[in-house]
C-alpha cells in the first residue's frame, strides 16, 4: 500500500451488509498439470484414474451437500448438488477420455475440457447462466487437484475472523471456511448472480465482487472495510471510516429487523392497491428458499438450466417432473415458466444452429422454438402436464409481434389436443409474453389481444433500447431502466395492457430497485419479480407508496 490512508475498491454489491476486519488473501496458484502427455500403453490406466478422481469429487460434494442440508442451508446445499451433477456429466467424461486416448494426461485434459465448457457459459447473454462458468471451472479444478494429490487450501485452516480477498472464490472454497470466520468477501471477478454472491447472501455476510485488477493493490493491506450494498471496500481504513462503518452497521441491523414484518405480508400501497411480489428462479432447488423469503409466486422460472451441457435434449418426462415439483411447492401461488431462451451462444444437441456474428440479435428464444417443433413441443407438453398440479402460467421470450404469438399458441393448442387424445391429464395455463424488445413494447396494443399478461424483462429492454451491451462495464451508466426512453416503452406497454384488461409484471433488475418501484407502480405494473432476498425490501417500498 502507498501512503494514502484510504484506498477505495469499487465493485459490484453482491450481498448487503458492512464489515471491518483483518484481511486474509486467498491467492492459490493456477493449477499446472505435472505432465501434459502420457505414453500409449498407459491410456486405459489413466482413464481409470480419471474416473476414480471424478468419483472421489462426487462423493466429497455429496457429503458437503448433506452436511449443509442437515444444517438447514438448503440454498447452499443446492449449489453442491448441482456441482456433483456436473462432476458426473457424461459430456465431461467423454471429452476428457477422448483427449486421454489422444495421449493427453487426464489432469491436463480435465482442465482443458473444463475451460471449453466454461467459455460456452461465459459467452451467454443471460447473466445467471454466464455465472455458471465459474462452477464448471471449479468442478474441473477439483478433479484435476484430486488427480495431482493436492490438499485443501489455506481457507480450511483459517482461525481468525477475516475479510477474505481473492481473484475469485468457488463454492468449494467457501465451503472450506470454518463457520463464523468469514466476515466478508471481496473478489476481483464475479457478478451479482455468481455463486460466490449466492453463497455470501446465504451465509448472511457482505460481499463485493467484480473489483478487477485493482484488488491486487490491496493484498498488502492489513485491514479492510466492506460495504456490500453499495458495492465497495476500503483498504486500511482510517479511524473515521471505521466509525462510519460502525454507524452503518447499526442502521442496517435496525432496518433488517424492521423488514422482517414485511417478509410474509401482502404488498399493498398506502391506498390499498395490491402489488404481487414474486421470485425469479433458476432451478427447482431454489423454490423452498424463495417461499421462506415471502415470495407470493414465481414471476420467472428460467428453464435453460435443463438444457445445459448434456449429450441429449431433456425429455418431456424430465421437464415435467421439474415443473411439477415447483408447481407443487408453490401450490395455489402462480408459477410463470419461461419457455427456452437460448440461441447461437449455446449449441443444443440435435439442433442445427448456424454460426452468427451476433447471436444475441439472432436465432434465439421463440425464433428458434418456432423453427424447431421437436425442441419446442416436449417443453409445451411438459408445462401442460405440470399445470394439473398447481397454478402454472407460461410466457414466450424474445417476441417482436403478434404473428409470433399466434404461431406459438397454435403449437401449444396442438400439444393440448395430442395430450387429450392420449388421455393424459393437463391443467389450464395462462399464456403471456416477455416484453424485452422495443418492437414488443411499441406493438403491445396488438399483442395484448393474444395474451393474458405481459412480463417486462427490463434487463434486455434496456440493452436493446439504448444499444448498450448489458455486460459492458464501461456502459454501466446506460444500463438503467430509469432512462426516459425505457420508461416510455414501459408506459406504452402498461397502457396497452390496461385497455385490453390484462396485467403487467416486471422481472428484470428494476423490479427490486426501491427507487424505481414507485415509478413502475405509477405506470401500471401490478407484479414485481426478483431474487428472493430482495422481496422484503420490495414489499416495504410498495407499502410506502
Could you give the residue numbers annotated as active site?
195, 507
Cβ atoms of 497 and 444 within 8 Å: the answer is yes
Secondary structure (H, E, C), 249-305: HHHHHHHHHHHHHHCCCCEECCCCCEEEEEEEECCHHHHHHHHHCCCCCEEEECCHH
Q: Which residues, in sequence order, are CB contacts of 399 under 8 Å at separation 6+?
A: 366, 405, 433, 434, 435, 437, 440, 447
Among candidates 157, 145, 221, 136, which has minimal Cα distance to 186?
Answer: 221
CA-to-CA dists, residue 87 to 114, 142, 268, 414, angstroms: 10, 9, 45, 38
Using DSSP, state whether 241 is helix, strand or coil.
helix
CA-to-CA dists, residue 123 to 3, 118, 119, angstroms: 40, 9, 6
Across 76-227, where does the E strand assignment appear?
Answer: 162-166, 182-187, 207-209, 223-227
- Give the span between the Cα atoms of 366 and 59, in whole angstroms: 39
Q: Are strands 503-506 and 453-456 parallel, antiparallel or unpaired?
A: parallel
Q: Are strands 334-338 and 298-301 parallel, antiparallel or unpaired?
A: parallel
- Give the span between the Cα atoms of 171 and 169, in whole angstroms: 7
Q: What is the DSSP letter of 37?
A: B
In which residue are the cell numbers 475451460 written? 115
Q: Residue 87: in which H helix or E strand, if any?
A: helix 74-87
Secondary structure (H, E, C), 384-426: HHHHHHCEEEEEECCCCCHHHHHHHHHHHHHHHHHHHHCCCCC
CA-to-CA dists, residue 2 to 7, 127, 207, 214, angstroms: 9, 36, 24, 13
Could you tell me the strand order of the sheet in which 162-166 lies? Answer: 7-10, 232-235, 223-227, 18-26, 162-166, 182-187, 207-209, 12-15
Amino acid at each position: 500500500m502507498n501512503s494514502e490512508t484510504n484506498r477505495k475498491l469499487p465493485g459490484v454489491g453482491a450481498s448487503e451488509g458492512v464489515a471491518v476486519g483483518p484481511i486474509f488473501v486467498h491467492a492459490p496458484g493456477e493449477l499446472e498439470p505435472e505432465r501434459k502427455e502420457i505414453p500409449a500403453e498407459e491410456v486405459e490406466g489413466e482413464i481409470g484414474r480419471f474416473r476414480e478422481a471424478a468419483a472421489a469429487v462426487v462423493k466429497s460434494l455429496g457429503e458437503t451437500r448433506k452436511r449443509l442440508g442437515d444444517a438447514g442451508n438448503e440454498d447452499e446445499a443446492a449449489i453442491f448438488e448441482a456441482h456433483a451433477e456436473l462432476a458426473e456429466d457424461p459430456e465431461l467424461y467423454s471429452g476428457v477420455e477422448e483427449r486421454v486416448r489422444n495421449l493427453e494426461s487426464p489432469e491436463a485434459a480435465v482442465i482443458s475440457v473444463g475451460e471449453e465448457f466454461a467459455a460456452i457459459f461465459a459467452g451467454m447473454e443471460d447473466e445467471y447462466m454466464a455465472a455458471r462458468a465459474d462452477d464448471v471451472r471449479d468442478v474441473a479444478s477439483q478433479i484435476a487437484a484430486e488427480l495431482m494429490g493436492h490438499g485443501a487450501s489455506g481457507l480450511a485452516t483459517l482461525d481468525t475472523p477475516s475479510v477474505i480477498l481473492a481473484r475469485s472464490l468457488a463454492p468449494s472454497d467457501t465451503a472450506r471456511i470454518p463457520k463464523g470466520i468469514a466476515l466478508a468477501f471481496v473478489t476481483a471477478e464475479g457478478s451479482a448472480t455468481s455463486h460466490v454472491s449466492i453463497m455470501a447472501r446465504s451465509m448472511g455476510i457482505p460481499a463485493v465482487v467484480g473489483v478487477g485488477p485493482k484488488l491486487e493493490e490491496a493484498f498488502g493491506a492489513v485491514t479492510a472495510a466492506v460495504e456490500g450494498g453499495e458495492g465497495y471496500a476500503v483498504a486500511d481504513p482510517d479511524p473515521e471510516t471505521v466509525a462510519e462503518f460502525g454507524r452503518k452497521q447499526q442502521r442496517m441491523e435496525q432496518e433488517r429487523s424492521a423488514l422482517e414484518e414485511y417478509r410474509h405480508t401482502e404488498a399493498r400501497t398506502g391506498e390499498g392497491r395490491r402489488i404481487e411480489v414474486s421470485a425469479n428462479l433458476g432451478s427447482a432447488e431454489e423454490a423452498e428458499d424463495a417461499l421462506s423469503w415471502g415470495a407470493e409466486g414465481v414471476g420467472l422460472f428460467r428453464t435453460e438450466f435443463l438444457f445445459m451441457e448434456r449429450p441429449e435434449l431433456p425429455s418431456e418426462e424430465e421437464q415435467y417432473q421439474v415443473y411439477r415439483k415447483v408447481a407443487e411447492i408453490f401450490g395455489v401461488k402462480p408459477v410463470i415458466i419461461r419457455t427456452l431462451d437460448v440461441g447461437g451462444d449455446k449449441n443444443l444437441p440435435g439442433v442445427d444452429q448456424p454460426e452468427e456474428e451476433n447471436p444475441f440479435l439472432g436465432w434465439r428464444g421463440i425464433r428458434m422454438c418456432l423453427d424447431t417443433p421437436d425442441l419446442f413441443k416436449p417443453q409445451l407438453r411438459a408445462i401442460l402436464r405440470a399445470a394439473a398440479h398447481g397454478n402454472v402460467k407460461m410466457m414466450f421470450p424474445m417476441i417482436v409481434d403478434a404473428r409470433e404469438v399466434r404461431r406459438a399458441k397454435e403449437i401449444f393448442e396442438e400439444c393440448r389436443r395430442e395430450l387429450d387424445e392420449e388421455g393424459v391429464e393437463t391443467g389450464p395455463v395462462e399464456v403471456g409474453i416477455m416484453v424485452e424488445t422495443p418492437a414488443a413494447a411499441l406493438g403491445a396494443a396488438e399483442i395484448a389481444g393474444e395474451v393474458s399478461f405481459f412480463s417486462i424483462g427490463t434487463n434486455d429492454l434496456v440493452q436493446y433500447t439504448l444499444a448498450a451491451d448489458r455486460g459492458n462495464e464501461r456502459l454501466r451508466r446506460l444500463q438503467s431502466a430509469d432512462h426516459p426512453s425505457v420508461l416510455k416503452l414501459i408506459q406504452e406497454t402498461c397502457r396497452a395492457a390496461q385497455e385490453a384488461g390484462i396485467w403487467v409484471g416486471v422481472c428484470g433488475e428494476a423490479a427490486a430497485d426501491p427507487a424505481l418501484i414507485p415509478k413502475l407502480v405509477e405506470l401500471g405494473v401490478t407484479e414485481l419479480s426478483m431474487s428472493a432476498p430482495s422481496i422484503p425490501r420490495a414489499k416495504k417500498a410498495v407499502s410506502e407508496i
